[in-house]
Amino acid sequence: MSDNQDVNLPSNFLRSIIENDLASGTFAPRGDSARIRTRFPPEPNGYLHFGHAKSICLNFSLAHDYDGACHLRFDDTNPTREEQEYVDAIIDAVHWLGFDWGENLFFASDYFERMYAFAEYLIRAGKAYVDSLSAEEMRAYRGTLTEVGRDSPYRTRSVEENLDLFARMKAGEFADGTHILRAKIDMASPNINLRDPAIYRIRHAHHHRTGDTWCVYPMYTFAHPIEDALENITHSFCTLEFEDQRPFYDWLLEQLRAGGLIPSPAPKQIEFSRLNLTYVVLSKRKLIQLVEEGHAQGWDDPRMPTLVGGRRRGYPPEGFRLFAERIGVSKSDSLIEYSVLEESMREVLNDSAERRVAVLDPLKLVIDNYPEGQLEECTAPNHPLKPELGNRSMPFGRALWIEREDFMEEPVKGFRRLFPGNMVRLRYGYVVKCLGCDKDAEGNVTAVHCEYMPDSRSGTPGADNYKVKGNLHWVSVARGVQAEVRMYDRLFAHPAPGSRREGDAPELERDFLDDLNPDSVSVIRAWLEPSLGEVAPESRFQFERHGYFVADRFDSKAGAPVFNRTVTLKDSWTKGGK
């Protein structure tokens, strides 16, 4: 790994910061030999989405590339929204993406004792006080961007009174919202985040790990820097919306460092731009709404931009890692095209997925001169570029399923597949000549007839005597496996769900739900080649000419396969819509 100078790593501003810190010896290794420490700090209040994947890949790969360590830390400071179910799902998702934190699994709630002691320290140092204004009054006192704030009448409480009140807050004497502990900084600061921010609040709530031990809980902005410092994090990477919080992060750690409560030097907070992606929403609030209102069938619906959804869709973890590498990291807001994500998935799948044959819109092809009841095995390579992946055999017989669109009774110009009189190759099998078709009373084609050329079998010397333009895939009627296939497409039909459009009346407010794609899934019955009958859940394949598909993680069973379409072979979405 490490010598970054001569490894071919994409450079970015985070790497430059780390390299400068390493060169100047800012952070000496503490505890073990890790040269830097990063962390991924999710709040266990929902499932991880594609945006989190960017942060996970970033933090874990930087730690890996610079011989450091990356912690997985749960920021579980808000008991009313957090649950063990989410903790388990997050652990699962980060492992699935391919990362490991070793011993470094932490919970903010493990530091509650120390955080409480640190708050007491701030009170003693005259840097924190208990305020008893109502939430509404506090808002009024805070001021605005253009107007300075005013001191709360409780700001001058004595250290003794503050310590007593804080202890009684902890002891459960007061109702939620009656008192709050605030840092004492500057009500006139141009940065609103420094106008005596709240650091501890009363919450009579059951915590998924600490139970009913606590009824005061630290605010995220107080807890997070402390967690970083106690874990010896060197570089605390977060998204840009925390930029205005950095002065408080630094202020707090400076107080605690001066008091000898945390090691020195303190961690550095460094912001990068969050992932924004077209055609999806990446906010837990909106994702929860999609699930709760039934627009998606759960967090792991294959159309959801969650990691469990992507997994079920068939997106490989390597695809997310490639995507993260490709989009890089910067400080300016950007919107990434969804097709960049899909292209990353295709690239990984093209390399790794074995090829199989599926007929999604079946029409029967009858080879009139092929003996009734006879079957022969044709050999098909599992991967065109990887002979080491071997071959499989596909039974060929008198009746085959082909795609309905591969036959035209009256061909349009340029059509090279089956039409009366034309010859095509049945892939890995024989060349056939189309003779005509059967129709029902309404004129719908019910079967196509052809004759085969017995000396044209693929792989035999005679095969080369036939020069044909069409090359069709097929599945044996006698031995094919019928399966449910879910044809997924994008969940939203507009690149920026809920955004204003040109010509919108000024008073018009759009709802992101109005941009849901009405055709984001259709369920079909398809015919699959026999080898697909017994595949393990989550096996990924390229169905030739159709795209990449995965055996559904939960619904696919041996003998009764269910497939989800992961992504088409080519991008069918042009800029701005289908």
Q: Annotated active-site positions, please?
A: 43, 274, 284
- Return the number of the residue (80 or 283) whose C-beta is nearest ligand ATP: 283
Kindly state the smallest distance separating residue 504's Cβ from ligand ATP, in Å. Answer: 26
Among residue numbers 355 through 374, which ones bind ligand ATP (CB under 6 A)? none
Give me the phi and psi of 312, to 5 degrees please: -70, -30
Kindly state the smallest distance separating residue 456's Cβ from ligand ATP, in Å. Answer: 55
Kindly state the smallest distance separating residue 336's Cβ from ligand ATP, in Å. Answer: 10
Q: CA 340, 345, 351, 353: dihedral to nearest 10 degrees?
A: -150
310 lines the binding site for ligand ATP (CB under 6 A): no
What gap in Å lies between CA 55 and CA 97, rounded to an integer? 12
Answer yes or no: are the C-beta atoms of 359 and 475 closer than 8 Å. yes
Alpha helices (H) along 314-432: 317-327, 338-352
43 lines the binding site for ligand ATP (CB under 6 A): yes
Kindly state the tokens that stand for 146: 């253009």
- Return the number of the residue (14 or 424) whose C-beta is nearest ligand ATP: 14
42 lines the binding site for ligand ATP (CB under 6 A): yes
52 lines the binding site for ligand ATP (CB under 6 A): yes
Among residue numbers 160 through 189, which ones bind ligand ATP (CB under 6 A)? none
What gap in Å lies between CA 222 and CA 319, rounded to an integer? 36
Kindly state the smallest distance separating residue 88's Cβ from ligand ATP, in Å. Answer: 15
- Return the number of the residue (282 or 447) whose C-beta is nearest ligand ATP: 282
- Return the number of the residue (16 or 283) whose C-beta is nearest ligand ATP: 283
Give me the phi and psi of 204, to 5 degrees please: -80, 85
What gap in Å lies between CA 50 and CA 53, rounded to an integer? 5
Q: Is 137 left (phi over 0), alpha (psi -120 to 50) or beta?
A: alpha
Among residue numbers 248 through 307, which ones bind ligand ATP (CB under 6 A)? 274-275, 282-284
- Return the number of the residue (52 or 457) whose C-beta is nearest ligand ATP: 52
In degrees, to the nearest 5, what angle opens at C-alpha 329 toward C-alphas 97 and 20? 105
Kindly state the smallest distance separating residue 59's Cβ from ligand ATP, in Å. Answer: 8
How many CA within 13 A on the CB side of residue 117?
A: 9
Among residue numbers 199 through 238, which ones bind ligand ATP (CB under 6 A)? 238
Kindly state the smallest distance separating residue 274's Cβ from ligand ATP, in Å. Answer: 3
Among 22, 34, 36, 41, binds ligand ATP (CB under 6 A): 41
Place of tokens 């960049």: 340
Interacting span for ligand ATP (CB under 6 A) from 50-58, 315-323, 368-376, 545-553: 50-58
- Measured CA to CA in angstroms, residue 404 lies from 364, 472, 476, 485 at distances of 8, 11, 15, 17
Interacting span for ligand ATP (CB under 6 A) from 38-46, 121-129, 251-259, 569-577: 38-46
Among residue numbers 81 through 120, which ones bind ligand ATP (CB under 6 A)? none
| b/e burial code for range 141-160 (CB count within 10 A of at least 16 → b) | bbbeeeeebeebebbebeee
- Return the number of the residue (224 or 486) whose C-beta is nearest ligand ATP: 224
Answer yes or no: are the C-beta atoms of 423 and 401 closer than 8 Å. no
Is 366 strand, coil or helix? strand
The neighbouring-strand residues paired with 69 are 37
Which residues of 295-430 form beta strands (DSSP E)? Answer: 335-336, 354-356, 358-359, 362-367, 375-381, 391-397, 399-403, 423-426
Kindly state the smallest distance separating residue 92's Cβ from ligand ATP, in Å. Answer: 15
Among 12, 26, 191, 239, binds ligand ATP (CB under 6 A): 239
Q: Which residues, 6+ apart, have CB-to-CB distance to 123 below 8 Å?
A: 129, 159, 162, 163, 166, 181
Burial class (CB in 10 A: 0-12, 13-18, 19+), 400: buried
Kindly state the smallest distance separating residue 55's Cβ from ligand ATP, in Å. Answer: 4
Q: Tell me the residue nearest to ligand ATP as measured from the CB.
A: 51
- Return the number of the residue (99 or 430) whose C-beta is nearest ligand ATP: 99
- Return the number of the residue (237 or 452) whose C-beta is nearest ligand ATP: 237
DSSP 557: B
What gap in Å lies between CA 85 and CA 479, rounded to an integer? 43
Kindly state the smallest distance separating residue 166's Cβ from ligand ATP, in Å. Answer: 27
Number of residues that bind ligand ATP (CB under 6 A): 14
346 lines the binding site for ligand ATP (CB under 6 A): no
Interacting span for ligand ATP (CB under 6 A) from 40-48, 293-301, 334-342, 426-434: 40-48
DSSP 554: T
Is 119 strand, coil or helix? helix
- Return the number of the residue (253 or 329) whose C-beta is nearest ligand ATP: 329
Among 27, 34, 54, 492, binds ligand ATP (CB under 6 A): 54
Query: What does the binding site for ligand ATP look like in residue numbers (CB under 6 A)?
Result: 41-43, 51-52, 54-55, 238-239, 274-275, 282-284
